[in-house]
Amino acid sequence: MARERLIDIARTVYRSYGFAPIDTPALEYAEVLLGKGGEESDKQVFRFTDQGERDVALRFDLTVPLARFAAQYIQELGTPFRRYHIGPVWRGERPARGRFREFLQCDFDTIGTLSNTADIETLFVINDLLEKIGIERFTIRVNNRRVLNGLLEKCGLQEHAVTILRSLDKLDKIGRDAVLQEMQEKGGIPAAGASQVLDMAQLKGRPDEILLALDGMLQGSQTGQLGLENLRELFACVGQCGWPADRVLLDVSIARGLDYYTGTIYETILGDLPGIGSVCSGGRYDNLAELFTSQQLPGVGASLGLDRMLAALEELGGTAKATTPAPVLVTMLDAAGIPAYLQMGRNLRRAGIGTEVYPEAKNIGRQMKYADKRGFRFCLIAGADEFAAGTWQIRDLQQGAQVSVAAAEVPGYLVQALTPAATSGT
Amino acid sequence: MARERLIDIARTVYRSYGFAPIDTPALEYAEVLLGKGGEESDKQVFRFTDQGERDVALRFDLTVPLARFAAQYIQELGTPFRRYHIGPVWRGERPARGRFREFLQCDFDTIGTLSNTADIETLFVINDLLEKIGIERFTIRVNNRRVLNGLLEKCGLQEHAVTILRSLDKLDKIGRDAVLQEMQEKGGIPAAGASQVLDMAQLKGRPDEILLALDGMLQGSQTGQLGLENLRELFACVGQCGWPADRVLLDVSIARGLDYYTGTIYETILGDLPGIGSVCSGGRYDNLAELFTSQQLPGVGASLGLDRMLAALEELGGTAKATTPAPVLVTMLDAAGIPAYLQMGRNLRRAGIGTEVYPEAKNIGRQMKYADKRGFRFCLIAGADEFAAGTWQIRDLQQGAQVSVAAAEVPGYLVQALTPAATSGT
């Protein structure tokens, strides 16, 4: 239920921005998937030959299927094309805490526009997602690949960009010294250059201060200035939002491991659980579908790390304990009253109240135990006496109180009783 | 979007009865799946050896995974256990209209009770599903395997039950003569016996009339009388519901192909499209998990045929044409106004109105064309003049009308304008 709640929030937020749902098959032709995510990813692909001798594989992300889908249908769909996709992906790797061979991805992307407006809205979507999930303290770290490339250009290190950015991406995990060492040993970067890159990447301060410092460093770099301009626009809009000062920060050290990002990049860190890593990441890419079509399809998007977010919520105590989606249990004392029990269930559902009817006239103690275990909010009780009197006992399982209410008034009573906590049971 | 709408309705209805969501992995160990659905099903299973040399397969339904799951966790879960499961399944068969190698199943089941109350509520769920989807004319055909077995017993044909019921299941498709022929040729049933079975199965009339006729035929058959008693209880409750007379019918010819059904069985036929077949089917089974556990786990449930229902809705013209989930598009005339366009988007979303912001200051004609194509309900338009005046143009794309509204009043105006059709765009 906690997982479904997150999916529901993601869908609601995505839809509120005009992203439409798509789904693609779990199985793609192997040639569609292989060679798209690098050697490591190819090794992890679940691949086999099916009954029709087709070489097929289970998708390892939702981006490659989107690229295939967009290449195939973009003429028909038109641009900008905004889609979200929530579905399982598979990777044959060693499972660990919060890492599974099958896991859910929860992506949204705006395809077919180079406009920075889409980048800014991507940030808004991430913010709304976290707010709606109920996270109070979080920071979206933003950077721009063009700024990084501009800085490397100024250091004369642009040819080593891929190596440097991959190392830089590990800064949080392995620390400055290890990154320096890796850049020198694996990347063959001179010590002075590596150190200079890290100094720039570790610029600290308010976004406007960092933007100013970067402007100085990036004089004469066209690429770098383009990236800076996008960041300036983004922070100008953030300034209008009235968010806490640490809601969106400019962090020049963020590189994201993936090679295909070319512009804005995003990471989202929980204020109360930074160690769990980014719970929502993404970025802008110049050409999504170049392997499938000659049409250029730029885009920007991000992905909610649903399983990681769930793990975080569990650790922070933010998941509900009830295992029933219905707040009311109609207990059964007397099998002769089955039509009445069922009818009460129907009346309550018609009043919008989720209601389970206990299916057997078992010992009431056992039914109450069941109600506790599932986490129902109210129990309805009626036996021969109540049927004769036309009343029902309503037991409030949170308060422990019990009242007698006329049959016809039960739905109204419960609607009112559940109103302050209307969302808790649904 | 049409598919997601159906999923949403199914979830809402299931939850309103206290069914909780579960999910299981798409990949199971092959030994869990094989030999569970018969020879034909084994042949259709997508099976392979993974990176860890594990013999794995993609699930072909959600019932076998439920059996495995229940066997593993039922002690912890407790009974009755009501779950729904909406997820893809895979079958390596030849695709046809409305039949795909990957398709979505949408199951709900009540596990761990023999009570007929659960059977009656299963019927209620099916009814609510179809009503909420917006189907006005439909018939739920009900039967009971015990009644069928009782009838076969009375004809001395109980040993041929499996063969006879499988043939009977084809009655709708291939007709009486072909079923008779198949029973005789494949099943070795004497012509007189086959004919007698078909006469009984083709009993026509109101449920109470058929129940009475069956009561006469089933005198002395304990099995048959048990089945009859369940059907009587069910129809007594149906009588309270105030449904159209043809909403629930007793159809003795319904057998369902699956061997594991043992009690009530259900099929749902659309009044305006009977030829498409049953859109929601299910039944009661005595022992779900016998292959995995020694604990007896009886249950009852059904499955919404989501893809078939979608095909039916398309044919009946019941799917919406809009391809955006947001009713409002904020167009962009002037790139200098980007912060204002984005802010309007935020204000509208805060008022509960799904809003897309067009990301580029392109020719307005092109943006209006985009709005038409996607099916937005309203467009917002503002350029330098409007910004100076503090107003926005609101164009109603259904009515063709356009009004000028003060910026601060736009959300209120649109909330009101969208209220009568609040559900159409969300």
Q: How does pLDDT run across B95-152, given as a tens digit for each residue?
A: 877 678 999 999 999 999 999 999 999 999 999 999 999 999 999 999 999 999 999 9
Cα A369 to the chain's mean position, in Å? 36
- Omega within 30 of 0 (cis) for the link into A80: yes
Question: Is the pLDDT confidence value at B426 over 50?
Answer: no
Closest CA to B60 of B97, B95, B105, B99: B105
Which of A332-341, A349-358, B280-289 has the weakest average pLDDT?
A: B280-289
**Which of A48, A109, A238, A426 to mutate: most B Cβ within 10 Å?**
A48
Cβ-defined contact of A338 to B117 (cutoff 8 Å):
yes
In the block, tokens 């913010």 appear at A127
Span B76-81, average pLDDT: 94
- Domain assignment present for residue A423? The answer is no
Q: How far is B18 from B253, CA to CA, in rounded Å?
A: 32
B340: contact with A, CB 8 A cutoff: no
- Domain assignment present for residue B169? The answer is yes
Question: B149 and B127 share a domain?
Answer: no
A381: contact with B, CB 8 A cutoff: no
- Domain assignment present for residue B426? The answer is no
Question: A259 and A186 share a domain?
Answer: yes
Residue B418 half-sphere exposure toward CB, CA atoms < 13 A: 27
Q: What is the CATH number of the domain that holds A59?
A: 3.30.930.10
The predicted structure's pLDDT at residue A425: 44
Q: How far is B124 from B202, CA to CA, in rounded Å?
A: 25
The predicted structure's pLDDT at residue B35: 86
Sign of CA dihedral B404, B407, B408, B411: positive
Question: Is the pLDDT confidence value at B186 over 70?
Answer: yes
- Domain assignment present for residue A424? The answer is no
Question: Is the pLDDT confidence value at B424 over 50?
Answer: no
- Domain assignment present for residue A385? The answer is yes
Phi-psi region of B220 (alpha: psi -120 to 50; beta: other; left: phi over 0): left
B233: contact with A, CB 8 A cutoff: yes
Find the CB nearest B346 among A1, A124, A356: A124
Question: B130 and B62 share a domain?
Answer: yes
The interface residues of chain B toward chain A in range 25-84, judged by CB-CB distance below 8 A, are: 25-27, 43-44, 46-52, 58, 78, 80, 82
- Residue B357 pairs in a beta bridge with B330
CA distance B79 to chain A (A): 8
The predicted structure's pLDDT at residue A424: 45
The predicted structure's pLDDT at residue A257: 66
Inter-residue contact A308 to A98 (CB < 8 Å): yes
The predicted structure's pLDDT at residue A255: 82
The predicted structure's pLDDT at residue A321: 81
Q: How far is A25 from B57, CA to CA, in rounded Å?
A: 16
Rounded to the nearest integer, the mean pLDDT of chain A is: 92
Inter-residue contact A235 to A248 (CB < 8 Å): yes
Supply φ then ψ for residue B396, to 5 degrees. -90, 110
Domain boundary among A293, A319, A345: A319
Q: DSSP string covering B361-381, please?
A: ---HHHHHHHHHHHT-SEEEE
Residue B237 half-sphere exposure toward CB, CA atoms < 13 A: 25
- The three state secondary structure string of B98-141 is CECCEEEEEEEEEECCCCHHHHHHHHHHHHHHHHHHCCCCEEEE
- Domain assignment present for residue A121? The answer is yes
Please report which confidence band the pLDDT of residue A421 belongs to, taking 50, 70 and 90 as the band edges: low
Name residues whose C-beta falls within 8 Å of residue B285's C-beta, 6 or more positions apart in sequence: B260, B261, B262, B263, B298, B299, B300
Return the exposure string of A46-77: e unless at least 16 CB atoms fall within 10 Å of the residue's CB, then b.
Answer: bbbebeeeeebbbbbbbbbbbbbbbbeebeeb
Question: Is the pLDDT confidence value at A256 over 90?
Answer: no
CA distance B116 to chain A (A): 8
For B297-307, write each residue's pLDDT tens digit. 999 999 999 98
| Highest averaged pLDDT of the listed ranges A382-386, B200-204, B321-325 | A382-386
Token pair for B100: 């795909």
For A110-126, write each residue's pLDDT tens digit. 999 999 999 999 999 99
Residues of chain A in contact with residue B368, where contact means CB-CB under 8 angstroms, are none
Supply φ then ψ for residue B48, to 5 degrees. -160, 170
Question: Is the pLDDT confidence value at B425 over 50?
Answer: no
Question: Is the pLDDT confidence value at A422 over 50?
Answer: no
Question: Is the pLDDT confidence value at A242 over 50?
Answer: yes
The predicted structure's pLDDT at residue A426: 40
Segment holding B345, helix H or strand E:
helix B338-350
- Omega within 30 of 0 (cis) for the link into B80: yes
Inter-residue contact B56 to B9 (CB < 8 Å): no
Question: B152 and B200 share a domain?
Answer: yes
Question: A232 and A157 share a domain?
Answer: yes
Inter-residue contact A147 to A252 (CB < 8 Å): yes
If one compares B61 and B288, the residue with the highest pLDDT of the two is B61
For B226-271, write each residue's pLDDT tens digit. 999 999 999 999 999 999 999 999 999 888 766 678 999 999 999 9
Question: B1 and B133 share a domain?
Answer: yes
Q: pTM for the full model?
A: 0.92
Question: A357 and A387 share a domain?
Answer: yes
In A57-206, which ranges are continuous DSSP H helix?
Answer: 63-77, 116-133, 145-154, 161-168, 171-185, 191-201
Token pair for A236: 């100008």
Residues of chain A in contact with residue B359, where contact means CB-CB under 8 angstroms, are 80, 110, 113, 115, 117-118, 121
Inter-residue contact B261 to B254 (CB < 8 Å): no
Domain housing B152: 141-265
For B366-387, write each residue's pLDDT tens digit. 999 999 999 999 999 999 999 9
Residue A6's alpha-carbon distances to A123, A308, B20, in angstroms, are 18, 11, 15
Question: A198 and A118 share a domain?
Answer: no
Question: Is the pLDDT confidence value at A358 over 70?
Answer: yes
Residues of chain A in contact with residue B90, where contact means CB-CB under 8 angstroms, are 26-27
The predicted structure's pLDDT at residue A229: 97
If one compares B58 and B321, the residue with the highest pLDDT of the two is B58
Q: Domain count for chain A, please give it.
A: 3
- Residue A357 pairs in a beta bridge with A330
Q: How far is B171 from B190, CA to CA, in rounded Å?
A: 18
Q: How far is B280 from B306, CA to CA, in rounded Å?
A: 9
Inter-residue contact A331 to A392 (CB < 8 Å): no
Q: DSSP string covering B191-240, please?
A: HHHHHHHHHHHT--S-HHHHHHHHHHHTTT-HHHHHHHHHHHHHHHHHHH
Question: Is the pLDDT confidence value at B422 over 60?
Answer: no
Q: How far is A236 from A211, CA to CA, in rounded Å?
A: 12
Cα end-to-end span (Å), chain B: 10
Question: A6 and A129 share a domain?
Answer: yes
Question: A406 and A306 share a domain?
Answer: no
Token pair for B243: 């449904």
Residues of chain A in contact with residue B58, where contact means CB-CB under 8 angstroms, are 26
For B298-341, write each residue's pLDDT tens digit. 999 999 999 899 999 999 987 778 899 999 999 999 999 999 99
Question: Is the pLDDT confidence value at A308 over 60?
Answer: yes
Span B3-18, average pLDDT: 96
Residues of chain A in contact with residue B86, where contact means CB-CB under 8 angstroms, are none
Question: A8 and A114 share a domain?
Answer: yes
Cβ-defined contact of A124 to B46 (cutoff 8 Å):
no
Cβ-defined contact of B46 to A25 (cutoff 8 Å):
no
Q: What is the CATH number of the domain that holds A392?
A: 3.40.50.800
Q: How far is B219 from B204, CA to CA, in rounded Å?
A: 20
Sign of CA dihedral A5, A9, A12, A15: negative
The predicted structure's pLDDT at residue A166: 83
- Domain assignment present for residue A50? The answer is yes
Chain A: residue whose CA lies nearest to B104: A25
If one compares A420 and A234, the residue with the highest pLDDT of the two is A234
The predicted structure's pLDDT at residue A258: 64
- Domain assignment present for residue B425? The answer is no
CA distance A117 to chain B (A): 5
Question: B217 and B247 share a domain?
Answer: yes
Residue A407 DSSP symbol? G
Token pair for B407: 């910026």
Name residues whose C-beta falls within 8 Å of residue B177's C-beta, 6 or more positions apart in sequence: none
Inter-residue contact B53 to B27 (CB < 8 Å): no
The predicted structure's pLDDT at residue A48: 95
Cβ-defined contact of A346 to B241 (cutoff 8 Å):
yes
Question: Is the pLDDT confidence value at A205 over 90?
Answer: no
Which of A115-129, A377-391, A402-416, B97-111 has the weakest average pLDDT?
A: B97-111
Domain boundary among A295, A319, A343: A319
Token pair for A410: 């039960």
Cβ-defined contact of A237 to B342 (cutoff 8 Å):
yes
A105: contact with B, CB 8 A cutoff: no
